[in-house]
A and B are shown apart, each in its own frame.
Chain A
């Protein structure tokens, strides 16, 4: 009967699959599982580690960008050996769910002193409540990319830095070109809706007070920052609105695609990081420069990046810690800089001549600019009393309304502040221990 035939086929197939399975590692090496995102650069980075540690094979296991995989696996006790945390949000999540190893005592033994060697802007991705958990893999700070040929064609001199947002506006206006039918052919300045942290940093705007107990969004710096974002689109018309952005691309979700717009020369200037090069390098014939970002009231810029954390229940703790230590290895730092995977998190690597001029990419003359911007990087403003993702989303929601011209900046920040305070109340209510700390810290 058909049934038996099917069954026989399946059993045969199972046996075949069984036989065909290669052993975990053909060379019998120890396998270290590293969960990271799907960046093709990871393979090279993994191979470098294997070269330096021939007894280990690194299995790069992708998650899909979220924390599900690591947390679900780790809660069941079988997580990866090492994994990446993207920004402080994820670090906090991992630490609080108990899947991150406290390496505060181990790092000095390895000769790593994070507080001295890495950029301060990345501290809250590595530390939590004074303890060290992660070693940064790289950092990024956004600057302004520009097309030299487009500026020349518009008769505009490359702007002198430092410059304020006010100074940007007339330049961007000269660089915004329209088609005969009124639609815009080239925008003066491109940025993404999630770049609000960048604008905030330049105005000294914070989401939370330094001790995290209050939301301070409803304040002049934040409102000014959001106002600039709004005016670039609706008052000066130098940046695309969400509608216009979406019209320009078939791919990507709401607000993404700025890199490809810029690469396709739909914008003369764009706010972005050095890691854009991994896409931009594959465009031929671009002649680009980089400038320090405009500022509002202070020359400070938003820094973001990844850190690698160790799973405390890993059966290969020694190798896992070696992997973490590898993040400070000069060869790794040079690789990061060479790949343009952001820039190295350890400051010293960025002052080497090999960083300033890379013979493989001779036309990239602005590495010094990136280094100088990074020195001015500051991290996210977070609170221990509210999940960072929740807070971030609440802010983003309001900013999106402003960018859709449905709310004023002032109203949006007021509403965001209210929403965050409410969310914080819920978060505190759920956790009595946290609530006690909050009250001791002086919160209401």
Chain B
């Protein structure tokens, strides 16, 4: 054991030193800042204890934005399983499979601006192909209803209200948040997660699968009992990164596509933090919000900790 400890520290030191200086220290600084009223508009800063935290927990806007953020993560499971499914499909050495893999990864390459412009056009309530198709369907089934207004609408599938935290009937429908969710799934599904699953699938020993098949297991059971557990560490990674990304994200879309609207419904917590820091200059308060956000994410992560921690070993 002692020998391993010495080796371990040796291995980790290059990364750890850089990490401590460039990652850990700024984070620690922000924690301290969250207990102050540091504002860029004021030369003196003073310690205010937990007041920032009290304020944000009582602020309607915080809960509204948290709600937005969580809502806009609803596409996460779809994206995760979608990536897995794609990876399984593409996990073979067929000629030309490289083309498919590249094509599906393209949204990750394409300019964010291009993607957002494209989707803005797609979601156009009058001329966009999505609503045109919906109108066709409605006409076909003789449904008399308004087509969704997508990026212009504050409506959503959960009926979340606009200015207060709550649910009202008038806000049921498909609106900006749903539009962003759909777009998010599309962007993520063939992207990094698919690559990761591809890589992880290659580590699943073929012998195990063959053994299971010999024992008469169906394809589904093979997957469920052999492959899926082997993928657990990767799934944990994707889950955690998606949660982090989801809770920290929505920033680019908000800035480019919707500027946080309509009526702040696409403002995620990350965008709110940015606005607090650099538009309202309340860095201390913004830090506090960040750390509350951190709390949520960390909690969610620790719940899954055991799941993702198993090393692969078998007899």
Contact = CB atoms under 8 A, between A and B. Distances in A.
Interface stretch (A92-100, A105-113, A160-168, A346-354): A92-100
A387 B41 contact: yes
B41 A96 contact: yes
Contacts of A68: 278
A426 interface: yes
Contacts of B275: 393
Interface string B254-279: 00111101111000000000010011
A400 interface: yes
Contacts of B152: 242-243, 246, 254
Given A246-B151, A246-B152, A404-B263, A251 B281 contact: no
A246 B124 contact: yes
A156 B152 CA distance: 34
B124 A254 contact: no
Contacts of B30: none
Nearest to A387: B280
Interface residues of A, number: 33
A387 B281 contact: yes
A97 B281 contact: yes
A400 B41 contact: no
B103 interface: no
A251 B119 CA distance: 11
Interface string A377-400: 000000000010110010001001
B244 interface: no
Given A97-B41, A183-B126, A254-B258, A400 B280 contact: no
Interface on chain A toward B: helix, strand, loop, or mixed SS?
helix
Contacts of A397: 263-264
Interface residues of B, number: 35
Contact of B41 (A75, A93, A247): A93
Interface in B272-293: 275, 278-282
B259 A93 contact: no
Interface string A407-442: 000000000000000000010001101100000000
A221 B290 CA distance: 40
Contact of B55 (A98, A253, A406, A426): A426
A21 interface: no
Contacts of A96: 40-42, 281
A420 to B, nearest CB: 13
Interface in B133-179: 149, 151-152, 154, 162
A247 B124 contact: yes
Given A96-B40, A97-B41, A250 B279 contact: no
B278 to A, nearest CB: 5
Given A98-B43, A397-B263, A250 B120 contact: yes
A443 interface: no
Contact of A253 (B39, B256, B279, B280): B256
Given A243-B149, A251-B117, A393-B279, A400 B124 contact: no
A96 B41 CA distance: 4
Contacts of B154: 404, 406
Contact of B263 (A93, A183, A400, A430): A400
A247 B149 CA distance: 10
Contacts of B37: 430-431
Contacts of B151: 246
A390 B43 CA distance: 19
A13 interface: no
A253 B125 CA distance: 15
A330 interface: no
A426 B262 CA distance: 26
Nearest to B55: A426
Of A66, A68, A393, A430, most buried by chain B (CB within 10 Å of CB) is A430
A254 B125 contact: no
A431 B149 contact: no
Interface in A60-81: 66-68, 71, 75
A67 B279 CA distance: 8
A96 B37 CA distance: 15
A81 B259 CA distance: 31
B126 A400 contact: no
A248 to B, nearest CB: 9
A401 interface: yes
Contacts of B39: 430-431
Contacts of B120: 250-251
Contact of B117 (A66, A242, A250, A389): A250
B98 interface: no
B40 A71 contact: yes
A301 B124 CA distance: 34
Nearest to B259: A253
B121 interface: yes
Contacts of A92: 41
Given A97-B40, A253-B256, A401-B263, A66 B278 contact: yes
Nearest to B264: A397
B250 to A, nearest CB: 15
B127 interface: yes
Contacts of A98: 43
Contact of B259 (A66, A254, A404): A254
B278 A243 contact: no
Nearest to B258: A254
A250 B124 contact: yes
A254 B262 contact: yes
Contact of B121 (A250, A390, A404, A431): A250
Given A97-B281, A393-B279, A397-B264, A253 B257 contact: yes
Interface in B109-138: 117, 120-121, 124-127
Of B42, B44, B256, most buried by chain A (CB within 10 Å of CB) is B42
Contacts of B55: 426
A273 to B, nearest CB: 21
A92 B281 CA distance: 11
Given A246-B152, A253-B257, A400 B262 contact: yes
Contacts of B258: 253-254
A67 B278 contact: yes
A67 B262 CA distance: 24
24 contacts: A66-B278, A71-B40, A71-B278, A71-B281, A75-B40, A93-B40, A96-B41, A96-B281, A97-B40, A243-B125, A247-B124, A247-B125, A247-B126, A250-B124, A253-B256, A253-B257, A254-B152, A254-B261, A387-B282, A400-B261, A401-B162, A401-B263, A406-B263, A430-B42
Given A68-B278, A96-B281, A247-B126, 10 more contacts: A71-B278, A242-B262, A243-B149, A247-B125, A253-B258, A254-B259, A389-B279, A389-B280, A393-B275, A431-B39
Minimum-distance CB pairs A-B, first 4: A96-B41, A247-B126, A97-B40, A389-B279
